[in-house]
């Protein structure tokens, strides 16, 4: 059967398949874990280019190489978001069940139930760190790793009321700095505007009269204001939506797709310096990565792979706090490193450890365990209650409109 555009309702059906569900869960937690493992190196371990020849052992090279896929992990988030949010929304539109108000509630509840507490946690940890554990240079931008990775960005200067307000309104990265040490939160504003622009476009596509033109005009204004980088990221999100919307049995090759993705990622890692130095090349490689991951995702539809079904409980457990892990890992990492440096007065916390230093290795592993524990607890207090918040907000929304709510499963 040839490839073709399919009924969007098949997307919702596919997301009930055990293999696909488990694969999506695995991709979510692996991507979050990869970002955290890469970031944990930055304040703790000296950069590879600064290592003495004696420290560049094979296992050190392998460790640096394997924990360097954080940028690609962000692309995985974007593609998965397009696949899940875009695909399910198109399915609802095809069934005549899409409501712009309900869509906005679902998306805002999903993001903000954990995002706002993460901002509060970031502000609190950074404030304490600045005032009581600032001697390591992690907050004033004088730590060697902060200079190397963030060009001496002083996190302590990013805690003003204006920055807090800009982050609450999801304007960080595009119109205002990201709050304090939690620089990974730039992707959250990007996700938020993916949802808003797509929701406005979908509303414009199915609405009539003035609503159609107003929705499409607002989408165009948002895209124009956010600029070219947002358009590039939006294209990667749309790769996920495309995967949700097509039926291509000739392309469904899980082994071939996985091999192609792994080989491509390896090539990108070996060419990191050249790719980072050329914006056009970096954008091209990002799109190839997004498309290849989309091919893997496409290949999982309609498949039954026993290993994924066997791993499903573990993948779900890890995925259930992957969002929280992404949200809180960096401020916890910076704070823990600052506390250890101030309490122990060990030079490695102020300058970076050699990767073969036992104290550095123990600190890296210990802080990772701490981050995972904090993220899991944070998730129990926040994102675990997403469905309850959605239900409550939808009920209030429909009560205000004098209708009985229909609570669609996510």
For 3-45, write each residue's pLDDT tens digit.
444 555 666 676 788 999 999 999 999 999 999 999 999 889 9
Q: How far apart are CA 360 and CA 321, in angstroms?
A: 27
CB atoms within 10 A of CB 310: 12
Question: What DSSP element (H or E) covers 169?
Answer: none
Q: What are phi and psi of 300, to 5 degrees?
A: -85, -15
> What is the three-class DSSP state of 176?
strand
Look up the pTM and report it.
0.93
Question: What DSSP element (H or E) covers 192?
Answer: helix 186-206
- Are 62 and 373 in contact by the 8 Å Cβ rule? The answer is no
Q: How far, rounded to the nearest angstrom, does the alpha carbon of residue 236 sit from its chain's CA centroid?
A: 13
pLDDT digits (tens, 9 = 90+) for 235-261: 999 999 999 988 777 888 999 999 999
Q: What is the mean pLDDT of residues 368-393?
A: 96
pLDDT score of 1 more than 50: no
Query: What per-residue confidence (pLDDT) applies to 55?
Result: 80
pLDDT score of 315 more than 80: yes
Query: What per-residue confidence (pLDDT) applies to 311?
Result: 96
pLDDT digits (tens, 9 = 90+) for 212-225: 999 999 999 999 99
Single out the residue of 102, 160, 139, 127 nearest to residue 391, CA to CA.
102
Query: What per-residue confidence (pLDDT) applies to 272?
Result: 80
Q: How far is CA 178 from CA 79, 123, 309, 328, 355, in A?
A: 23, 11, 39, 14, 30
Q: How far apart are CA 149 and CA 146, in angstroms?
A: 5
Comparison of pLDDT for 323 and 150, the residue scoring more: 323
Query: What per-residue confidence (pLDDT) applies to 159?
Result: 97
Q: What is the mean pLDDT of residues 365-390?
A: 97
Q: How far apart are CA 272 and CA 132, in angstroms?
A: 37
Comparison of pLDDT for 279 and 385, the residue scoring more: 385
Average pLDDT, the chain: 91
Burial of 260 (0-12, 13-18, 19+ CB in 10 A): middle
Q: What is the mean pLDDT of residues 94-117?
A: 93
pLDDT score of 326 more than 60: yes
Query: What per-residue confidence (pLDDT) applies to 75?
Result: 95
Q: What is the mean pLDDT of residues 114-126?
A: 98
> What is the three-class DSSP state of 97?
coil
Query: What per-residue confidence (pLDDT) applies to 2?
Result: 46
Share of the chain above pLDDT 90, in %: 70
Q: How far apart are CA 180 and CA 400, in angstroms?
A: 38
Query: What per-residue confidence (pLDDT) applies to 9?
Result: 61
How does residue 56 score in pLDDT terms, banded at 50, 70 and 90?
Answer: confident
pLDDT digits (tens, 9 = 90+) for 180-217: 999 999 999 999 999 999 999 999 999 888 999 999 99
Matching residue, tokens 């398949």 = 17
């Amino acid at each position: 059967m040839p490839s073709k555009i399919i009924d969007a309702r098949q997307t919702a059906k596919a997301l009930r398949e055990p293999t696909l569900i488990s694969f999506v869960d695995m991709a979510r937690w692996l991507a979050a874990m990869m970002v955290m493992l890469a970031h944990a190196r930055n304040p703790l371990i000296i950069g590879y280019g600064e290592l003495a020849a004696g420290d560049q052992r094979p296992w050190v090279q392998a460790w640096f190489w394997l924990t360097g896929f954080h940028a690609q992990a962000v692309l995985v988030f974007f593609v998965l978001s397009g696949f899940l949010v875009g695909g399910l929304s198109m399915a609802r539109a095809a069934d005549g069940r899409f409501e712009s108000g309900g869509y906005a509630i679902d998306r805002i509840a999903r993001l903000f139930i954990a995002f706002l507490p993460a901002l509060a946690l970031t502000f609190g940890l950074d404030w304490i760190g600045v005032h009581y554990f600032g001697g390591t240079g992690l907050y004033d931008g004088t730590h060697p790793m902060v200079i190397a990775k963030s060009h001496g960005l002083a996190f302590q200067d990013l805690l003003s009321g204006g920055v807090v307000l800009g982050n609450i309104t999801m304007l960080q990265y595009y119109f205002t700095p990201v709050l304090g040490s939690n620089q990974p939160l730039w992707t959250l504003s990007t996700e938020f505007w993916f949802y808003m622009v797509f929701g406005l476009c979908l509303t414009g596509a199915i609405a009539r009269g003035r609503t159609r033109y107003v929705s499409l005009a607002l989408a165009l204004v948002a895209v124009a204001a956010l600029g070219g980088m947002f358009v590039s990221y939006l294209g990667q999100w749309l790769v996920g939506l495309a995967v949700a919307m097509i039926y291509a049995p000739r392309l469904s090759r899980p082994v071939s797709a996985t091999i192609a993705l792994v080989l491509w990622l390896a090539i990108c890692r070996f060419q990191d310096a050249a790719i980072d130095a050329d914006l056009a090349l970096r954008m091209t490689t990002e799109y190839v990565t997004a498309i290849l991951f989309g091919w893997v995702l496409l290949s999982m539809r309609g498949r039954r792979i026993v290993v994924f079904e066997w791993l499903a409980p573990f993948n779900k457990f890890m995925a259930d706090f992957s969002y929280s892990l992404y949200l809180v890992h960096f401020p916890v990492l910076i704070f823990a490193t600052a506390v250890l440096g101030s309490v122990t007065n060990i030079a490695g916390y102020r300058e970076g450890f050699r990767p073969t230093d036992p104290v550095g290795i123990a600190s890296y592993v210990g802080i990772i365990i701490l981050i995972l524990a904090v993220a899991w607890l944070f998730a129990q207090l926040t994102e675990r209650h997403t469905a309850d918040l959605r239900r409550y907000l939808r009920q209030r929304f429909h009560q205000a409109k004098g209708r009985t709510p229909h609570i669609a499963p996510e």
